A and B are shown apart, each in its own frame.
Chain A
Amino acid sequence: MTQYLLQISLAGLAQGSLYALTALGLVVIYNASTVVNFAHGAMGMAATYVAYVLISQLHVPVPLAFVGAIAAAFILGAVVQALLLERLNGAPILTQVVVTLGLFMFLEGVLGLAFGYNPRPMAPPIAIAPVTVAGLVLRPQDIVQLALLVALGVALAALFGATKLGLGMRAITENTYAARLMGIPVGRVLGTAWGLGVLLAAVAAILAAPTTSVTPNMMDTIVVYGFIAAILGGFGSLVGAVVGGLILGVIVNMIDAFLAPELAMSIVFGLLVLVLYVRPDGLFGRKAVQKV
């Protein structure tokens, strides 16, 4: 039984690393621009289609195709920031939510028009057989996912904590106007933050693609869990997003194994509402102060 529980938790951590990567991207964007990007999953999905076209139609080598897709994701993020969000600077939260939702619908619809809704296969990038360690089955891809999560998480923490770019992002969150006066190139910093955030979504989507297949709605479930992970982590905390994603992955896998997989998302949302009752700012969040 313990063995079984450990195995489920392990698979949960691997699945959770996808939620955590998605949540990290959401948090990076939120931290710089205070916008929750509802088009996050769709943008990651669009980048996965870039990888898919490069691999299966243009026969580009797989690693190169991934680099291309991730670069495309960065550009997509920066362009969306410059074309859409820049114009909505200072608009109410509702307006910003509305525009990212419109973008989500648009991207899913356009890719559905271009490629149809039939799932398209994507070969796993690492085709090594699972190994057994102390009775636990370890999939190489899971280990790569977790390692990637840790590496990207540390890199982001360093970026926010120790670079001028990260300092600029934090300054813009604090007060955009003052940041501009201090000579921070606000547009460029925000574009970079959006690019990085969408890049993280693309990493999650490409990692998920071998199991979900490439479809216009491949990220729908993952991005909803990504939102929940970010909320659990306090929306704004990088550590919170990672821990929230990993915990969520384990919980979802436990529900799948012991309760009802069809109700997984309903149960998770019930839990989320409970958590928000007890801790309205998530597990790692600082208390939000409303300014006049």
Chain B
Amino acid sequence: MPRYAVTVPVVIIAAVLPLVLQLIGERQVYWLFVVSEFFVFAIVAISLDLLMGRTGQISLGHSGFVAVGAYTAAILNARFGVDLLGGAFAGGSLAAIASLFLGVPATRLRGHYLGIVTLGFGIAVDQIALKWDALTGGDQGLHLHRPTLLGLDVGTPVLMYYVALIALIVATLLVWSLTRTRLGRAFAAVKDSEIAAAAMGVPVASTKVVAFVCSAFLAGAAGGIYAFLAGFVAPEDFGIDSSLLFFAMVVIGGMGSIPGAIGGAIIVDAIKNAAATVSGLSLAILGGMIVLVVLFFPGGLKALLRRHAAKRTTLDRTRNATVPLDA
């Protein structure tokens, strides 16, 4: 089955969804926000997948990058009236700079240590946002102005929905193209075997740093968009819990695949929203799912779908057999 046979209908459905919600009329604003928020989370999942799924570097503090981006955008907007594009770009840039703090140690740390150091980064960003209240508003949070984009007012739920959707499409295309460059192949080589990659002339250390920077930029930009979407940022949006949610999205979706990351984001976001009223429920379900996925479906959602598709055409089976890294 050609790739666009799935992608095109999905994009069309996403594009007409506001109209459908308009026709149904019930709690339209709420559902628009839920889906827009999902688009932003899917960008973060894609960014984390770039790091974990493509390069094999773990991050347990990815919401730290989202928080840096969101606060950067919120502060620039509240103080200097910077618009959505500028806020997202500045948020991504600052998150990318912050990632050097992790990426450079990452060149010397293997697997486990990196998990712990990134966990610490997430905790530290959270603590600093709470403590540095002159800048961040502390636990009171920070309110943004009505969002504008290049001079246009995009402050309605429908317009913000399209902004988030377009941002997700752009992020998808960026990562998809990136994986097809020399750099993307270097990521894959580092993931498969650092020693082999080094032997083939891939600069392992700098490749890891670049992976961190790219991933953090995307996560930070998503954070910037999130700040405008919610109109408000506060530290509790970016704790360890949300880092674990992003982590769950990537694992459940299947590492090393953009459709997998987006599918994982749909599943995790749906469970999070459906189980929000019972504390502990979403954590228990997602934790159980992660364990089951690792034990019984190592490729996650992506592999399940692909297995299904492969049963139908032998052509796909041969393609999957010869190009296992193909997304």
Interface residues of A (CB under 8 A from B): 36, 38, 84, 87-88, 92-95, 97-99, 101-113, 116-117, 216, 220, 224, 227-228, 231, 235, 260, 262-263, 265-266, 268-270, 272-273, 276-277, 280, 288, 290, 292
Contact = CB atoms under 8 A, between A and B. Distances in A.
B280 interface: yes
Contact of A108 (B127, B128, B283): B283
> Which 10 residue pairs of A and B lie closest in terms of their CB atoms, listed nearest first?
A112-B280, A109-B284, A102-B290, A105-B287, A106-B287, A109-B283, A269-B120, A93-B111, A266-B124, A36-B112
Contacts of B105: 273, 276-277
Interface stretch (B39-47, B83-91, B243-251, B306-314): B243-251
10 contacts: A93-B111, A97-B58, A98-B247, A98-B290, A105-B287, A105-B290, A112-B284, A113-B278, A273-B117, A280-B108
B115 A38 contact: yes
A-side interface mostly: helix
Given A102-B287, A105-B248, 5 more contacts: A95-B294, A97-B111, A108-B284, A112-B280, A266-B124
Contacts of B117: 269, 272-273, 276
Given A98-B251, A269-B117, A276-B105, A117 B279 contact: yes
A266 B108 CA distance: 20
B244 A105 contact: yes
A135 B262 CA distance: 62
A103 B112 CA distance: 16
Contacts of B286: 102, 105, 109
A111 B128 CA distance: 30
B279 A112 contact: yes
B152 to A, nearest CB: 39
B295 A103 contact: no
A95 B58 CA distance: 10
A116 B52 CA distance: 33
Contacts of B317: none
Nearest to B119: A224
Contacts of B319: none
Contacts of B295: 84, 87-88, 99
Interface in B74-109: 101, 105, 108-109
Contacts of B113: 231, 235, 276
B116 to A, nearest CB: 5
Interface in B100-149: 101, 105, 108-113, 115-117, 119-121, 123-124, 127-128, 130-131
B69 to A, nearest CB: 19
Nearest to B127: A266
Q: Which of A105, A109, A231, A276 has the most CB of B within 10 A?
A: A105
Contacts of A94: 52, 56, 58, 111
Given A93-B110, A102-B251, A112-B279, A273 B287 contact: no
Contacts of B120: 224, 228, 265-266, 268-269, 272
A92 B110 CA distance: 12
A290 B197 CA distance: 14
Contacts of A266: 120, 123-124, 127-128
B281 interface: yes
A292 B128 CA distance: 41
Interface in B249-302: 251, 278-291, 293-295, 298
A285 to B, nearest CB: 11
B116 A227 contact: yes
A113 B131 contact: no
